[in-house]
Chain A
Amino acid sequence: MGRTSIFLLSAAATVLAGTMPALSAWQPQKPIEFVATAGPGGGTDNLARAVQNIITKHKLTEQPIVVVNKGGGSGAEGYVYGKASAGDPHKVIFGTSNAWQQPLVSKVAFNYTDLTPIAAMAQDEFLLWVKQDAPYKTAGDYLKAASSGEFKMGGAQSKDTDEVLTRMIEKAGKVKLTYIPFKSGAETAVQLAGGHLESHVNNPSESLGQWRGGTQRPLCVFSPKRLPQGPKVTATEGWSDVPTCVEQGLDIKQYEQPRTVWLPGKVTPDQAAFYVDLMKKVQATPEWKDYIEKTSQVDTFLTGAELEKFIKEDLEHVKQVAGEQGWLVK
């Protein structure tokens, strides 16, 4: 064997090693459909479009990608569609934790077990927001004032993440709140700015503009530690200046909303592995970092057993809250 052939062989091996997983594994055969379980412009829709954009820009797959919105029924439309597409590996469903939470409290025609979990990418945090000129400075003050029983808490949708958190606050803070459901977090934020509500529990991106504009401010964040340092939001404060709720005597250690990615049911492990790998590649790009920072989310990546465990734990927790409220559907 001459030197050249050794060189060629090793070169071939390197090339082969580089492409090996791609060659042996499954590849999409036709255009891929990204199903956003939310209307255009919402957080889930933004995620699906950001991922589409990154994949296209970096040519992470040969096939073109189209995003469709199926946000009817608080996202149920998209999940039902995913269930009906069992065995089709060219449909990717983008959602949140309502994939497993919604079937608990509402008679929808799907369960998360009808779908194949791919990953949880990006977590949205929750904060307790009050009107800018409200008299209370800390979560403790807020709870003291709320003990009058006249406080109105706004949130997006009914029996969904916002209301679950509201009920947790009631329990932890020993208060009664009147929960008013609106269509979206943005709508809720404007209602608070107008003084029609006392508080809400929006995600950072839903109330960022309102905080900068001085119409509302966060009291605390429902997270075990303070949010990472970022650019200042107002003249003096940034996200890392918001104390945790536990620090302020509201004992809810952690409450987050993961953005989840699913395939329909009955796909092969090879097909699922392709998308796990694809999402990992997306997460490694600078555009992804940019997206995470602009939407003030936390970068996470859960897949496989870790994701299963996360879903199980969250499900148990929500079941408990929903059971206490009498929301569970029989």
Chain B
Amino acid sequence: MDNLAELLHGFTIAVTVPHLVLMAVGVLLGILVGVLPGLGAPNGVSLLLPLTFGMQPVSAIILLSSMYWGALFGGSVTSILFNIPGEPSSVATTFDGYPMARDGRPTTALATAFGSAAIGALIGVILITFLASWVAQVALAFGPAEYFAVYFLAFASFVGMGGAAPIKTVVALAIGFAIAAIGIDTVSGSVRLTMGVDELVKGVSFVVAVMGLFGIGELLVAVEEEFHARAVSSKIDWREVFRAIGRLPQHGVALLRSAAIGCWMGITPGGPTAASFMSYGIARRFSRRGRYFGTGEVEGIISPETADHAAGTSALLPMLSLGIPGSATAAVMMGGLMIWGLNPGPMLFVDQKDFVWGLIASMYVGNIVAVALVLLTVPVFAALMRIPFVVIAPLIVIICVVGAYSVSNSYLDVVMMLGFGVIGYLFKKLFYPLAPLVLAIVIGDKAEDAFRQSMLMSKGSLGIFFANKLVTCLIVAGIALLLLPLVLQLAKLWRKPASPATEPTAQEKVII
């Protein structure tokens, strides 16, 4: 109950007029950087950072964290409307969000995404409020072997499930791993796969890859298929916003499950991107309507969005209590903390109570401010879908080109982005799944580092993955998830042998 008293004290700091104004400003700026691909929350926060040096630390963090909330929301907008994820963590939202928007329901898709995102964030904050000290201890138990087990679990929950042919999933994964390996290798310190191009030493930026694969790739497919070239005549209906929100409780199980996955991944810290993928993969497997995922399912939007925001919120906890950032944006904010003269770490909760609890209270208020502002923008954004394709297509190309260039002011990135566009197009045409490819690009190198660090520690023995209860549970859960579809298939075969596969077309549709 101590925490509750501290929280109430925090509210007296957060709910003041200047701080509420800061929140609104932060959220609006955040939506802006989230909507513009290539800018993103980490860049937005680092641009804003110098402005905060003269501010009170608590005001500064409220501004920056509000911007973070805004960017998380904004990142979903372009994913849903144009299939271009503004943030790495909103890639999984494109899988069902974009088909739903194309289907003439952009308002529903956006409102569902925002509503479930707010619920995810709220659950994340509640967790921080009541379990701060316990959670910090859990995070400490994670060594390289445990990290690898978490990443393995994320892969396992996403691959090996229906949709694409398993061999195509494996091929997509392998290509993703190869792309993730480009650049300097952390463990050996040597340069890999740069093929004589000096600039590739920095590796392939995730933003460049997804903008090509999704944005340009989708565009090429749409140009080819004529029906896409029409504008979607969507009705802008204010009531639909509220109806979509009202329907959320029907998906209570999906919400809670996704929030749990998100919190877990935020704390451990697997990060929001891995969380959203994992949540989507698990939802697809356990939902009754799992086979329709990828065609505009409500739960296909709820799952990644809830997990993304729950993880994004709870990722701030390891930053505050351990000094280890759970996401790229948290890393920038941590740099800010040091410049303001605060040292992230276990003592922050003791030394800087006003700061910590002011921030936590501002998470409650800031998220409410964010969701209110963002819901107001739904009709505006949804109206963008009415613009005819011939107008919007060149705009998408411009956004992708500028976005790719702005990642590190490099022309090579633009060329690579266009190259990824062709890969995305080929993948779609040949029914290869994009999701495993993207997942491998995002967490492939982290998984590899963790695996090789574990091998260094154990002097090459795989026994390290079964060395304690925690890591054993994670690995066993991963293997179980990996084998589950195989077992189900076998069981099916057992019961009614030689029943021909039905609806191959529906299966092909499910491929993302």
Cβ A189 vs Cβ B190 within 8 A: no
Shortest CB distance A165–B (Å): 15
A-B contact pairs, 18 of them (CB 8 A): A40-B43, A40-B328, A41-B325, A67-B46, A68-B409, A69-B408, A71-B202, A77-B201, A107-B190, A152-B457, A183-B186, A186-B325, A186-B334, A194-B142, A194-B143, A209-B323, A212-B345, A212-B347
Q: Which of A187-225 contact B (CB under 8 A)?
A: 187, 189-191, 193-196, 205, 208-210, 212-215
Give A89-100 as 1s and 0s: 1 = Cβ < 8 Å from B's Cβ atoms. 000000000000
The secondary-structure label for the interface of chain A is mixed
With A and B bound together, what is the CA distance between A41 and B323 in angstroms? Answer: 12
Across-interface contacts of A160 in B (CB, < 8 A): 189
Q: Is B183 an interface residue (CB 8 A)?
A: yes
Cβ B189 vs Cβ A72 within 8 A: no
With A and B bound together, what is the CA distance between A157 and B189 in angstroms? Answer: 7
- Give A contacts to B, CB under 8 Å: 39-42, 45-46, 49-50, 52-53, 56, 67-74, 76-77, 80, 105-110, 152, 157-160, 178-183, 186-187, 189-191, 193-196, 205, 208-210, 212-215, 291, 294-295, 327
Interface pick from B275-283, B336-344, B360-368: B336-344
Shortest CB distance A26–B (Å): 24
With A and B bound together, what is the CA distance between A49 and B331 in angstroms? Answer: 15
Across-interface contacts of A191 in B (CB, < 8 A): 143-144
- By CB atoms of chain B within 10 A, which of A41, A106, A182, A194 has the most? A41
- Give B contacts to A, CB under 8 Å: 42-43, 45-46, 49-50, 53, 139-144, 183-191, 198-199, 201-203, 322-325, 328, 331-335, 338-339, 341, 343-348, 408-409, 449, 453, 456-457, 459
Cβ A74 vs Cβ B198 within 8 A: no
Task: State whether A209 and B202 are in contact (beta carbons under 8 Å apart), knowing that A41-B334, A49-B49, A158-B187 are contacts in the complex.
Answer: no
Cβ A40 vs Cβ B46 within 8 A: yes
Across-interface contacts of B49 in A (CB, < 8 A): 49
With A and B bound together, what is the CA distance between A68 and B53 in angstroms? Answer: 18
Cβ B345 vs Cβ A294 within 8 A: no
Shortest CB distance B19–A (Å): 24
Across-interface contacts of B333 in A (CB, < 8 A): 41
Set A45, A110, A157, A213: member contacting B186, Cβ < 8 A: A157
Cβ B184 vs Cβ A210 within 8 A: no
Across-interface contacts of A41 in B (CB, < 8 A): 46, 325, 331-335
Task: State whether A210 and B323 are in contact (beta carbons under 8 Å apart), knowing that A40-B46, A158-B186 are contacts in the complex.
Answer: yes
- By CB atoms of chain B within 10 A, which of A73, A159, A181 has the most? A73
With A and B bound together, what is the CA distance between A194 and B141 in angstroms? Answer: 6
